[in-house]
Amino acid sequence: MVIVVHGGLAEEEFLASDALLRACEVATEAMKGKEAIEGVESAVKVLEDDPRLNAGTGSFPNLLGEIEMSAGVMKDDYSCGGVAAIKNIKNPISVARAVMEQTRHILLVGEGANLFAHLLGFEPYDPRAELTIKTWKESLHKAEEEKRPIYRYYLEKAQEKLQETHWGTVGAVTKDEKGGLAAGTSTGGVKVQLPGRVGDSPIVGCGTFACPWGAVSMTGEGEEIMRWGMARRIGEWMEEVSAQEAVNRGMEIALEKKILCGVIAISKRGEIGWGANGGMLPLAYWKKGMEKPLFTLVD
Ligand code: ASP
């Protein structure tokens, strides 16, 4: 059994290592005698529920102040599912899994994704994190009352503050006891985001990918990760080379194309690979034989 989870590409010191370690522990328990996808879903749920991370509760609001979330999952038999621009849901990763297991489709977006979740009995939930959104709303309110243009400066500052309190997108890759692989990624998107924007996380082969040779979860500049189909390339390279070598090849492309990104990978052989270009990638991992999960910051 192998588990790797990440907390998104960070530009500063990362202070949510406890959540990543807990996600590893929860996934270990969830995967006992079960498939790799159980580990992915349970780990990502722990991270989505942590308001410090930009997924599920605590997701970044878009420019209208609304939270639109995205998540994707994939297994090594190429089954996959995702949701994009979904609102008012606690755990988008679970809805993504339901799309994979209960529909013929791969991706549901916006109102359609919400209707699907509602029909399956997912409770309506407000994913705004109290602390951060309170500051943002108060500032917005004050700036709106004040007609003098200088107040726009304070409004912008308040938004910067809001952003500073968050870290990134979350993801997990797992290998179960029978050798099955799965990947999952969940996000609130990027900081300055137009309503309706969808990034790489829920898109097969971009932010999330699994195939018979490996499982991959990415974070970083979604548009660039999508443009170059990063997760699929790294996943398929694991047929020939180790997980770390496949990640290194991906990072060479990232360097050449100037893509800010981070990646975690597990190969069919159980090797772990990770890398980051242009930031730090906080992650935690656990492998059979290790006493407890370990945290590391990759740069
Ligand atoms: N890749 C995510 C997106 O573009 C953001 C991130 O990983 O921080 O939506």
Please provide the distance, in angstroms rounded to a whole number, between the alpha carbons at the two ends of the chain: 26
Residue partners of 56: CB distance under 8 A and separation at least 6: 45, 47, 48, 49, 69, 89, 90, 91, 92, 93, 127, 186, 188
Rounded to the nearest whole angstrom, what is the distance from the C-alpha of residue 189 to the centroid of ligand 1? 5
Assess whether the C-beta atom of 92 lies below 6 angstroms from ligand 1: no
- From residue 254, alpha-carbon distances to 203, 218, 249 in Å are 18, 12, 9
Q: Is 188 exposed, middle or buried (0-12, 13-18, 19+ CB in 10 A)?
A: buried
Q: Which atom of ligand 1 is nearest to the CA of 197?
A: 9
Diameter over CA atoms, the chain: 64
Q: Where on the phi/psi map is residue 237: left (φ > 0), alpha (ψ -120 to 50), or beta?
A: alpha
Beta strands (DSSP E) in 188-256 are 208-211, 214-220
Q: What is the pLDDT of residue 168?
A: 76
Name the closest-CA residue to atom 4, ligand 1.
222
Atom of ligand 1 nearest to the CA of 198: 9
Residue from 163, 200, 226, 283 to probe ligand 1 pocket by mutation (most atoms less than 8 Å from CB): 200
141 CA to centre of ligand 1 in angstroms: 28
Task: Give the closest residue to 9 by CA, choosing from 210, 224, 294, 197.
Answer: 224
Binding site membership of 37 for ligand 1 (Cβ less than 6 Å): no
**Could you give the angle at which helices 243-257 and 230-237 cross, rounded to 10 degrees?**
150
Give the phi and the psi of residue 140 in degrees, each rounded to 5: -60, -45
Per-residue pLDDT at 195: 78
Report d(CA 10, CA 36) in Å as an integer: 27
CA 250 to chain centre: 18
- Centre of ligand 1 from the C-alpha of residue 178, in Å: 31
pLDDT of residue 13: 72
> What residue type is assigned to position 114 of the chain?
N
CA of 83 to the centre of ligand 1 (A): 14
Tokens of 104: 């013929």
* Active-site pick, 28, 132, 169, 219: 169
Is 187:197 a contact under the CB 8 Å cutoff?
A: no
pLDDT of residue 290: 95
CA 185 to chain centroid, in Å, comes to 4
Rounded Cα–Cα distance for residues 157 and 254 (Å): 31
Spans of the chain, pLDDT less than 70:
63-64, 130-144, 146-167, 192-193
* Local structure of 111: helix, strand or coil: helix
Catalytic residue at 169?
Answer: yes
What six digits make up the tokens of 135? 């500051």
Distance of alpha carbon 283 from alpha carbon 295, whole angstroms? 6
Q: Which of 31, 40, 45, 26 is nearest to 1 (CA)?
A: 31
**How far, in Å, is the centroid of ligand 1 from the Cα of 220?**
5
Ligand 1 atom, smallest distance to 188 CA: 9
Residue type, 193: Q
Q: What's at 129, amino acid-wise?
A: A
Q: Is the CB of 250 under 6 A from ligand 1?
A: no
How far is ligand 1, taken at its centre, from the CA of residue 289, in Å? 33
pTM for the full predicted model: 0.87
Report the nearest-CA residue for atom 9 of ligand 1.
189
The residue type found at 188 is G
Dist. CA 226–CA 190, nearest whole Å: 14
Quick one: pLDDT at residue 131? Answer: 45
Ligand 1: atom nearest CA of 189 is 9
Beta carbon of 171 within 6 Å of any ligand 1 atom: no
- 27/35 Cα distance (integer angstroms): 11
